[in-house]
Amino acid sequence: MTGQGMRAYFDHCATTPVAPEVLAAMTAAFREDFGNPSSVHAFGQAARRRLEEARRQVAEALGAAPGEIVFTSGGTEADNLAILGVVRSDPRPRKHVITTAIEHPAVLESCAQLEREGVAVSRVPPDSRGVVDPEAVRRALRPETALITVMHVNNELGTVQPIAEIARLAREAGVPFHSDGVQAAGKIAVRLAELGVDLYSLSAHKLYGPKGAGALYVRSGVRLGRILFGGHHERDRRAGTENVPGAVGLAAALELACRELPAESARLAALRDRLEREAAARLAPLEVNGAGAPRVPHVSNLCFEGVDGEALLIALDLAGFAVSGGAACSSGAAEPSHVLTAIGLSRRQAGASLRFSLGRLNTPEQVERLIEALEQSVARLRARVAASPHA
């Protein structure tokens, strides 16, 4: 078994380690400004200044106004606030929501809750590459459509959705448009004014920030009801004493990611392409799920024909490599990935697929070691299947 020092982390879509620069910024906030930012005394006002500086940094990184940033406990709360807050505040008796079949559970479950409340929901399917057609969204529109919600980057495939085009048709129809940007912010360039979205969700721990911190962009003028009740925090949009160190961590992480984006994107794309090229050459039959679609540079979802994905994941873990069978938030589920079945994979193919998501920790040497471990593990598992009397 490989020692901890030799372990390699290829699961950056699930979470990321906190960057030293982020930790330093948060530590200063913990030590120096512990006051409640709603308090009127000097301690509270010092914390308020630090919170508002973090808000300004997040807004600047995204091309938004500071007043349009609502700090949350993470991406899940941001998605819930956007979806439930917009739809529940719509006064019409009959309401309809458009989403896609490949969204994160935070979006799908929010929509399922609205269905239980009597709201109709349309789930637009993607194409075989994992990309949603804006025309399919247009065809799903109804007079009573209260919200369109489509993720920016899919968390399992890394496919980039045509958000600007969907935003245009939403604006033409007069329908608010939300995008889950948890896997996009800090990974590709995000300028909210250019995208044209009305609401956009972020999570700090996906971009080398802390867990338990996130934000929701709410374009000025968008009607948004509360889902948490209490004080008048976050301009009456999100009750609860603000997590100042978390907001500082999100701001520092986003600023760092944007600064490093061009160089890091090129580096990760080269590593990802090498992994896919070598895997295809040495591990055939193998398919790249989402191949041919616009993708973020650091995600690769591979289908290893004739292999049980869970067995391969465990074999790789024993060899010192952390990878994923799909969305970390739905791990433990017996059902195959809803994303992979939505793009047309069979249950068997979905069960033979693993996600590799690269990040700051990964090196060319680690990728080479991963390919070697894959070669050994896949060969062993395929031989076991071939030797089985049921094969």
Structural domain tally of the chain?
2
Q: 35-39, 174-178, 387-391: which has the minimum mean pLDDT?
A: 387-391
Q: What distance, in Å, lies between the first and last C-alpha atoms of the chain?
A: 29
My answer on whether 216 and 68 are in the same domain is: yes
Can you read off the two tokens belonging to residue 356? Answer: 């590799």
CA 338 to each of CA 96, 102, 155, 301, 324: distance values in angstroms, whole numbers, following the listed order: 22, 7, 12, 14, 15
67's CB contacts (< 8 A; 6+ apart) are 220, 235
Whether residue 390 is predicted with pLDDT greater than 90 in this model: the reply is: no
What is d(CA 308, CA 155) in angstroms, rounded to the nearest whole number? 21
My answer on whether 215 and 284 are in the same domain is: no
My answer on whether 157 and 34 are in the same domain is: yes
CATH number at residue 318: 3.90.1150.10
Percent of the chain with pLDDT over 70: 95
Residue with tokens 């530590």: 27
My answer on whether 332 and 247 are in the same domain is: no
Residue with tokens 């969700």: 201
231's CB contacts (< 8 A; 6+ apart) are 38, 239, 240, 241
Tell me if 132 sits within 8 A of 126, measured CB to CB: yes
My answer on whether 289 and 217 are in the same domain is: no
Higher pLDDT, 282 or 328: 282
Tell me if 136 sits within 8 A of 124, measured CB to CB: yes
Whether residue 232 is predicted with pLDDT greater than 90 in this model: the reply is: yes
What is d(CA 137, CA 157) in angstroms, rounded to the nearest whole number? 20
329-373 pLDDT tens trace: 444 456 899 999 999 999 999 999 999 999 998 999 999 999 999
130's CB contacts (< 8 A; 6+ apart) are 102, 154, 157, 159, 289, 290, 293, 339, 342, 343
**How open is the CA angle 217-144-124, to the nearest 5 degrees?**
70
My answer on whether 151 and 228 are in the same domain is: yes
My answer on whether 300 and 238 are in the same domain is: no
pLDDT band at 3 (very low <50, low <70, confident <90, very high): very low
Active site residues: 329
Residue of 140, 232, 127, 125 whose CA lies nearest to 177: 140
Q: Identify the domain boundary among 224, 241, 256.
A: 256
* pTM (two decimals): 0.95
* pLDDT given at position 329: 46
* pLDDT given at position 152: 98
Percent of the chain with pLDDT over 90: 92
Count of Cβ atoms closer than 10 Å to residue 270 Cβ: 14
Can you read off the two tokens belonging to residue 182? Answer: 């948890």
Tell me if 97 sits within 8 A of 158, measured CB to CB: no
CATH number at residue 180: 3.40.640.10
Element (H, E) at 72: strand 69-72
My answer on whether 355 and 281 are in the same domain is: yes
41-95 pLDDT tens trace: 999 999 999 999 999 999 999 999 999 999 999 999 999 999 999 999 999 999 9
Q: Identify the domain boundary among 256, 289, 317.
A: 256
Element (H, E) at 152: none
My answer on whether 219 and 275 are in the same domain is: no
103-116 pLDDT tens trace: 999 999 999 999 99
My answer on whether 107 and 198 are in the same domain is: yes
Q: Identify the domain boundary among 230, 256, 282.
A: 256
* pLDDT given at position 6: 84
My answer on whether 311 and 354 are in the same domain is: yes
6-28 pLDDT tens trace: 899 999 999 999 999 999 999 99
Looking at every residue in the chain, the average pLDDT score rounds to 95
Whether residue 150 is predicted with pLDDT greater than 90 in this model: the reply is: yes
383 - beta bridge partners?
Answer: none
378-388 pLDDT tens trace: 999 999 877 77
3-state secondary structure of 40: coil
pLDDT band at 284 (very low <50, low <70, confident <90, very high): very high
| pLDDT (average), residues 271-295 | 97
In the chain, helix, strand, coil percent, each to 5? 45, 15, 40
244-260 pLDDT tens trace: 999 999 999 999 999 99
My answer on whether 270 and 164 are in the same domain is: no
Residue 49: give the domain boundaries: 20-256
pLDDT band at 5 (very low <50, low <70, confident <90, very high): low
Question: Do the strands 120-124 and 199-203 form a parallel or antiparallel pair, or are they unpaired?
Answer: unpaired
pLDDT band at 302 (very low <50, low <70, confident <90, very high): very high
Maximum distance among all Cα pairs of the chain, rounded to whole angstroms: 76
